[in-house]
Amino acid sequence: MLTASELANRLQCSERTIWRMVRKGLPAHRISDRLVRFDAIVVDDWLKNQRRVEPD
């Protein structure tokens, strides 16, 4: 499980971008009120599926 910061480093983007992706449906596991973790395999699958979707 990765933190938002670790995921941002892994994807070479900002934490703000990670939170934008969460609002768009990126799967996240909420541990407590403010603590969120991400499963790397699930994130990779979600990103692959997003690339298959035609842009509006």
- As given in the structure block, the two tokens for residue 39 are 């499963």
pTM to 2 decimal places:
0.77
Instruction: Give the pLDDT of residue 6.
Output: 95
pLDDT digits (tens, 9 = 90+) for 5-48: 999 999 999 999 999 999 999 999 888 877 889 999 999 999 99
Distance from C-alpha of 6 to C-alpha of 32, rounded to nearest angstrom: 18
User: How far apart are the two ends of the chain, measured CA to CA in Å?
Assistant: 32
Domain ranges of the chain: 4-52
User: Amino acid identity, residue 17?
Assistant: T
Q: Are 2 and 37 in contact (CB under 8 A)?
A: yes
